[in-house]
Amino acid sequence: MFTRRQLLKRSGYAALGASIPTLLRPAYAQATFTPQYIKTFNGLTNGAPYNENSSMGYATSGNGYGAFGSTAQTRAGRSSSLELIIQSGTSGDNEAGSSNNGLWGYEAIIPTAIRPGPGTSIWFGVWLFYPNGFNPRTSDGSLKWLRIINSQTAQKTDIELNTNGSSSQVGWLGNEENSGNGPQNPFVEVQASSVLLRPNQWNYMELQIIPTNVPGHCTIRFWCNGLFAFEMVNLTQKWINSSGGVSTQNVSNGNYDLNTAAGVLTNFDFATYWNPPYPSGDQHVYLDSIVMYVGPAAALPAVDQFGNRMMGTGAAVTVVPDPPVITSVT
């Protein structure tokens, strides 16, 4: 049985934009860039429950947990952000259990017209405030952080915080949640602090994925704060290691994201649920702008040190008014 989180399939465009300031600036190819999807959380009331069921996304609140407007942490030029709260001792997914708490996470839904199938790249970016004291520890050594969902429910690609069982991040992990179509080798390494989340400030995470239904032919590339962190391209993994250098390795079984050639990616989820032991103490994070782009790589404004195109932290996104605030489920 699948939860609403797994089955939600919506569509729509965001004809709306936001400024993205620079944290770390790599090489930029052009001055302006406008993704097809831009979601902001500006104009929310501090502490107000945030419930959304729209063509752009899905979020819920309940019993003081889940999604809420916040003015406690805001990026420059913003009046508010989305605060996500998970209760101590819970998974954060009330739809899979008996709790009436809101969901731990936010689902950003890919517009129907740009949902990528096999061989089509999509870039996804999100701003996150990672507060001091946030404890990502789980029993299996990693915390689900970003999940890519497709129109066929068996395959779910995860980007996770690698903690090695500790209370802080030591690297990143890339993995398929379901390996029913064959074995897959995850990426999991200890990495340099320069490519990890920085506590108590805004971080920008960007992911490129080229989905496929053929095992061993997927491309997943990930940047943190504008810096290349790791990639999984076919059967080769490359990453910034714990010394700040570049490491590579070949694996026997590569990742993939679709069950058949007819499949498409449908949404990006920030957080999904917390594997046991469930968090010790309530945990809080904050989200701001979410952006997606499907199109020629040459149109992207930034280039990393390996020549990979990306949206980047310094992309000058066209500024237009923020969307109307959605505060109730429809």
Q: Please indicate, yes or no, if residue 6 is contained in any of the structural domains.
A: no
Cα radius of gyration rounded to whole Å, the chain:
18
**pTM of the shown model:** 0.86
Alpha-carbon distance of 233 to 230, in angstroms, equals 10
How many angstroms separate the Cα of 69 from the Cα of each of 12, 14, 143, 264, 327? 23, 20, 24, 32, 9
307: which 2 tokens?
């020549």
pLDDT beyond 90 at 9? no
Q: Please indicate, yes or no, if residue 5 is contained in any of the structural domains.
A: no
Alpha-carbon distance of 204 to 138, in angstroms, equals 23
Alpha-carbon distance of 139 to 162, in angstroms, equals 12
Alpha-carbon distance of 125 to 275, in angstroms, equals 24
Total length of the chain: 330
pLDDT band at 107 (very low <50, low <70, confident <90, very high): very high
Q: Please indicate, yes or no, if residue 268 is contained in any of the structural domains.
A: yes
Q: Please indicate, yes or no, if residue 4 is contained in any of the structural domains.
A: no
Q: What is the CATH number of the domain that holds 162?
A: 2.60.120.200
User: Cβ(329)–Cβ(49) under 8 Å?
Assistant: no
99: which 2 tokens?
């709790």
Per residue in 52-76, pLDDT tens? 999 999 999 999 999 999 999 999 8
Residue 52 identity (one-letter amino acid): E
Alpha-carbon distance of 236 to 274, in angstroms, equals 29
Q: What is the mean pLDDT of the chain?
A: 83
Q: Please indicate, yes or no, if residue 209 is contained in any of the structural domains.
A: yes
Per residue in 173-228, pLDDT tens? 998 776 555 667 889 999 999 999 999 999 999 999 999 888 888 899 999 999 99
Q: Please indicate, yes or no, if residue 158 is contained in any of the structural domains.
A: yes
Domain housing 266: 22-310
Per residue in 256-310, pLDDT tens? 788 889 999 999 999 888 877 779 899 999 999 899 999 999 999 999 999 999 9
Q: Please indicate, yes or no, if residue 1 is contained in any of the structural domains.
A: no
Q: Please indicate, yes or no, if residue 260 is contained in any of the structural domains.
A: yes
The number of distinct structural domains making up the chain is 1
Burial class of 210 by CB neighbour count within 10 A (0 to 12, 13 to 18, 19+): middle
29 secondary structure, DSSP code: S
- Beta partners for 299? none
CA neighbours within 13 Å on the CB side: how many for 85?
Answer: 21
Alpha-carbon distance of 150 to 100, in angstroms, equals 27
